[in-house]
């Protein structure tokens, strides 16, 4: 008690007083203007919450103006969007924690065009009959990748899961030990396989896997051979991998589908833009039967996962009830379609697709921008950031 008594109380706290009633506070002029902005229910609830907090603190009762100021604070906090724009100053163009790819304005316009009204999502305007939602992007994906067919699901993790489950449930999936990776955010290839109902058949070693390792593992129990692009790590030194063309030929000869999880899966040759090479979807499909890749990594569109490849395999996948559970909505198709259309004009892609534009910026331009921004950033966040 003695120590508490020695703490000076703020001047506006009235000792021993009872808090005012909710009705009394709502009768104030200030409350009326809050009600105008936030609505009566929200203001009344905020007043109740604040009074409850005052009682819980048991430190005396602030005057009514102070209570209403606190109520206003609560209401503004409540009406503030949690998800909001930020500056990405990390230097990482595709940052998962900051929302990955920045969409081109064409995609934003396409989304806003379909989001507040009806759209022909599953309606074929040419025949007047029911349509397929994948129809809006399938032909574009096929044109840009050389695939026979394609579908879109929630993300690439879902795409991989769906392929495994639809094509290899209760069967073996043959994978090289060097590709049993964790992509981050708890996407671990062996765990995904187990959850999809597949039995993992590891072949080779961490650093070396040969064609004969696959050859020996293939048998009547095999449902699928899978390759996984080790997106975020590298094995160097004494290494070996089965060649893609040879593995493709082996799988074809044995009648087992070959699926490649490309992760990022670029649609264009990045080396032609002066960037480190990444396997393209088209190149992978030259030997694989199916390819899975993300919509919001190098492709530069919205979060989704794409499965592209052989028509007969995609027909099986489409029939899976999981396809329905993992499907995406009209906004995703709108954004994806508009972004894919930019690829039809490859000459202007680096200027129109934000992901490629940012990845191909010259170091001098980035340096100049950093120098321009640094003083302002330092001024505003001197408490949090240091600049040399």
Ligand X SMILES: *Cc1c(COP(=O)(O)O)cnc(C)c1O
List the x/- string, 247-266, binding to ligand X by CB under 6 A: --------------x-xx--
133 is a contact residue toward ligand X (CB under 6 A): no
290, 305 in Cβ contact below 8 A?
no
List the x/- string, 18-57, binding to ligand X by CB under 6 A: ----------------------------------------
When CB distances to ligand X are compared, the closest residue is 263
Complex with ligand X: residue 25 or 154, whichever CB lies closer: 154
279 is a contact residue toward ligand X (CB under 6 A): no
- What CA–CA distances, in Å, run from 352 to 105, 368, 388? 9, 22, 34
Q: How far apart are CA 331 and CA 85, in angstroms?
A: 19
Inter-residue long-range contacts of 85-94, CB under 8 Å, 24+ positions, other chains counted:
89/373, 89/377, 93/355, 93/358, 93/359, 94/296, 94/297, 94/298, 94/355
174, 218 in Cβ contact below 8 A?
yes
Name residues contacting ligand X, limited to 135-194 (CB under 6 A): 155-157, 160, 183, 187
228 is a contact residue toward ligand X (CB under 6 A): yes
Q: Which stretch binds ligand X (CB under 6 A): 133-141, 142-150, 223-231, 250-258?
A: 223-231
229 is a contact residue toward ligand X (CB under 6 A): yes
Reduced to 3 states, what is the DSSP secondary structure of residue 223? strand
Complex with ligand X: residue 183 or 256, whichever CB lies closer: 183
List the x/- string, 230-249, binding to ligand X by CB under 6 A: -x------------------
Beta-sheet strand order (sheet of 199-203): 149-153, 305-309, 290-294, 258-263, 222-228, 172-176, 199-203
328 is a contact residue toward ligand X (CB under 6 A): no
- What CA–CA distances, in Å, run from 217 to 166, 191, 211, 252? 21, 20, 10, 15
Complex with ligand X: residue 94 or 250, whichever CB lies closer: 94
Complex with ligand X: residue 43 or 160, whichever CB lies closer: 160
Total Cβ atoms within 10 A of residue 276: 7
Count of residues of this chain found to bind ligand X when the rule CB under 6 A is applied: 14
Name residues contacting ligand X, limited to 296-325 (CB under 6 A): 305
Local structure of residue 226 (DSSP, 8 states): E
Of 292, 299, 305, 281, nearest to 338 (Cα)?
299
Complex with ligand X: residue 155 or 222, whichever CB lies closer: 155
Binding interface with ligand X (CB under 6 A): 155-157, 160, 183, 187, 228-229, 231, 261, 263-264, 294, 305
């Amino acid at each position: 008690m003695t120590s508490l008594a020695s703490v000076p109380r703020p001047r506006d706290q009235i000792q021993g007083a009872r808090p005012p009633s909710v009705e009394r506070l709502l009768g104030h002029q200030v409350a009326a203007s809050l009600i105008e902005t936030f609505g009566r229910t929200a203001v009344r609830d905020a007043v109740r919450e604040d009074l409850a907090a005052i009682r819980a603190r048991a430190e005396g009762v602030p005057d009514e103006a102070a209570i209403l100021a606190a109520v206003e604070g609560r209401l503004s906090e409540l009406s503030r969007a949690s998800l909001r724009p930020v500056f990405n100053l990390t230097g990482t163009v595709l940052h998962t924690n900051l929302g990955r790819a920045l969409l081109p304005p064409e995609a934003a316009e396409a989304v806003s065009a379909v989001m507040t009204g009806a759209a022909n999502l599953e309606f074929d305007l040419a025949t007047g009959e029911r349509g397929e939602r994948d129809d809006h992007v399938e032909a574009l994906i096929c044109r840009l990748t050389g695939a026979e067919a394609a579908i879109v699901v929630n993300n690439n993790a879902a795409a991989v899961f769906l392929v495994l489950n639809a094509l290899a449930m209760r069967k073996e999936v043959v994978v090289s030990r060097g590709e049993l990776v964790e992509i981050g955010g708890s996407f671990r290839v062996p765990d995904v396989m187990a959850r999809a109902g597949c039995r993992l058949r590891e072949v080779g070693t961490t650093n070396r896997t040969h064609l004969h390792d696959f050859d020996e593992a293939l048998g009547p129990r095999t449902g699928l051979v899978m390759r996984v692009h080790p997106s975020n790590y590298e094995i160097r030194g004494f290494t070996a991998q089965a060649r893609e063309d040879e593995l493709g030929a082996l799988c074809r000869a044995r009648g087992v589908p070959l699926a490649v999880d490309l992760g990022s899966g670029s649609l264009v040759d990045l080396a032609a833009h002066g960037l480190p090479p990444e396997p393209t979807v088209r190149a992978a499909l030259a030997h694989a039967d199916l390819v899975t890749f993300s919509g919001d990594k190098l492709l530069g569109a919205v979060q989704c996962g794409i499965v592209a490849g052989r028509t007969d395999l995609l027909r099986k996948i489409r029939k899976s009830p999981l396809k329905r559970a993992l499907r995406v909505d009209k906004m995703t198709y709108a954004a994806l379609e508009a972004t894919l259309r930019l690829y039809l004009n490859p000459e202007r892609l680096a200027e129109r697709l934000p992901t490629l534009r940012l990845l191909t910026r010259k170091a001098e331009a980035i340096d100049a921008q950093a120098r321009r921004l640094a003083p302002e950033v330092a001024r505003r966040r001197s408490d949090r950031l240091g600049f040399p």
